[in-house]
Structure 1
């Protein structure tokens, strides 16, 4: 089975093969589905294994996973609308299994596997949880936000100082924090993190080494990129981007990209 990676709306969907995942926390809320078989999972501090076709879990949960066969994993940033949906589904224990929408997500993963990349936008927009999202507002309606986003992506290596950004556009810090998330769908720091990961992933897609991809995205070095990637996804980028392994991609052509002509 060929691996597929789709990035959109503050989330990343991975479909394919992954190895056993030792105890880790993902930082992000996520859901994992076994496409052909059940998945085994246990929480740190509890020796009992659980088996299910689908698990939804909060990012703070430390857990171990045995994957038998191909899987679909949806990672969502905690500040995103999808993150809120999955966190609510995970419940007070931070872990739940077999939600009612699991068969829909499994069907989407199979459809993604057999479709051409140009079909991915329609497939994903009609599937859970993307079909639950409120329509994105148009970023171009506010030049102040465009200027903030431009600064964030043109200098990915710089530390984000929200107060200074707000001052530069003549707005309060609280207004910028609220309006940025309201329009972009992610908090400023989460957007910067995702954008840097996205930049590195696109570089890898075009043949860059992990080191060159990390530097092009504003990480200090490959180790820094690896640590951030592992914090988000619970696995090393070297596991996902194995040499010689073919990956199909879909990076959403967001309004941000259209406006700023980043890529």
Structure 2
């Protein structure tokens, strides 16, 4: 989800000539699209399989892209509040804002040991190019079963999840001070160009634009959902 704090945002699905214009867009991370941003923006990148991710998936709708949800003004107000708050206040501010304050239970995978094994292998070794057929053999199931069950439980195809988690890993590395090239390699991308293309596919904009030198970024990264799914200590 992305919101414009100073002005409206432009988005269009790749291949379309017509631009959509709105202060707020909710979109599927697997949707190939383009974005034009001006001024300050707020971006929420929700974990697949999380409660927030489920809310945003429903809001994005069957086309994977929707504009101006009813709660957009509330979210914009929250972004402005974060701009003037201290980092230790972010969790409290977000917990009383949509969609964080209206979570409903969604399907979890704690009882599926084979899927837990697969997801743990993907997130603990993001730099490895894991073969899906080999993963299926390791857990004693067919490749088609793994693909089907993974998407049902997590909400994304396995390859899309792997790309999402690599992008998240790279973004966390950038937050901790890595440059784009080092962050890309550490997250399992072939090079910076590979990371740029994957990032652009999801957000519709290059990471070099988002993480420009001198730009002020207010970060809040929460890994709680993945830890719950995998029952990590």
Q: State the TM-score, normalizing by the size of structure 2.
A: 0.73
1:61 positional shift: 7.3
What value does the CA root-mean-square deviation take over the aligned residues? 3.6
Structure 2 residue 189 is matched with structure 1 residue 223: no
* Structure 1 residues without counterparts, runs of 5 or longer: 1-29
Whether contact under 8 Å (2:54, 2:106) holds in the other structure is no
Q: More displaced, 143-152 or 157-166? A: 157-166
- The equivalent residue for 1:109 is 79
How many pairs align? 224
Correspondence list, 1:1-263, <5 A: 30=1, 32-37=2-7, 39=8, 41=10, 44-46=16-18, 52-56=22-26, 65=36, 67=38, 69-74=39-44, 81-88=54-61, 97-131=67-101, 133-135=103-105, 141-257=111-227, 259=231
Whether contact under 8 Å (1:42, 1:64) holds in the other structure is yes
1:218 positional shift: 0.9
Whichever structure has more helix as a proportion of its residues is 2
Measure, in 2, the Cα distance between the counterparts of 1:152 and 1:42: 31
Whether contact under 8 Å (1:54, 1:99) holds in the other structure is yes
Question: Does the C-alpha gap of structure 1 residues 185 and 56 become closer, same or farther in structure 2, counting only changes over 3 Å?
Answer: closer
Q: More displaced, 125-134 or 241-250? A: 125-134
Whichever structure has more strand as a proportion of its residues is 1
Q: State the TM-score, normalizing by the size of structure 1.
A: 0.66
Question: Does the C-alpha gap of structure 1 residues 187 and 161 become closer, same or farther in structure 2, counting only changes over 3 Å?
Answer: same
* Structure 2 residues without counterparts, runs of 5 or longer: none
Measure, in 1, the Cα distance between the counterparts of 2:11 and 2:119: 40
